[in-house]
Structure 1
């Protein structure tokens, strides 16, 4: 005997997709005035937060599949927003680092991105906003501090 599925109004996967679209809409609006995509923004944000890193770690922290990151990193490199170098110890390992131009994209849009985040805090309240982030982290098998 199988249990019936919850209503789509109470389905976690569907609720997460709907919430993602609600969260990403203002980010997409912000990025529409730039030359970068939301995935490229994520990569630049991770690099701005953590500094130079290998492509596998960057893919994981950016929530991107490795082949997608490879393409995105090449595009960002061509735009002058990141550099790619080979690791001195392991020549197969690629290291990616944000450039001054890439950091400028982050810096130029940081106030607007912070304002967007504050809007979500206003909707949820600061405590519930933090609780939501904590709960979502618990569902992320690859979560890092």
Structure 2
């Protein structure tokens, strides 16, 4: 419950910025993942964005119709698809990232950069510990 409350408090700060640009949280996560990692197959996007595969199919279909992503089939295996950002999405990244940085700076001013750093470190450690447990 504590992690869910923390996530929701953070999203209260960032959600209006994302929705002001006509995006859902899931769409923004997909755009961020593709911007950071480059073109990927839907299953990799699902893993990074923590969106189920069935939901991802719908998210990507809507994003394609909004000219936010393109899908290209692999020549050697027509069942596989590579998803890429469009110029529209790259422009959204540029605009939204600038505003997000201002929100992050405000957050650091409010709670202090040392607390933000400790939270990042603690969450990284938590995820690393949980992922180690999955590998066993």
TM-score (ref. length: structure 1): 0.80
Deviation of residue 24 (structure 1)? Answer: 0.7
If each structure's helix is expressed as a fraction of its own residues, which one has the higher value? 2
Q: Name stretches of at least 5 consecutive residues in structure 2 with no aligned partner.
A: none
Runs of 4+ in 1 over 4 A off after TM superposition: none
8 Å contact kept, 1:77–1:83: yes
Q: Identify the residue that residue 125 of structure 1 maps to in structure 2.
A: 113
RMSD over aligned CA atoms reads 1.8
Select the structure of larger CA radius of gyration: 1
Deviation of residue 140 (structure 1)? Answer: 4.9
- Count, aligned residues: 129
Alignment match of 1:134 (pick from 114, 124, 136): 124
Query: In 2 relative to 1, CA 124–133 (structure 1 residues): closer, same or farther, beyond 3 Å?
Result: farther
After superposing the two structures, state which structure 1 stretch, 80-89 or 37-46, moved more: 80-89
Q: Name stretches of at least 5 consecutive residues in structure 1 with no aligned partner.
A: 1-13
Equivalent positions of 1:58-137 (< 5 A) are 58-122=45-109, 123-126=111-114, 127-137=117-127
Partner Cα separation in structure 1 for residue 59 and residue 119 of structure 2: 30
TM-score (ref. length: structure 2): 0.85
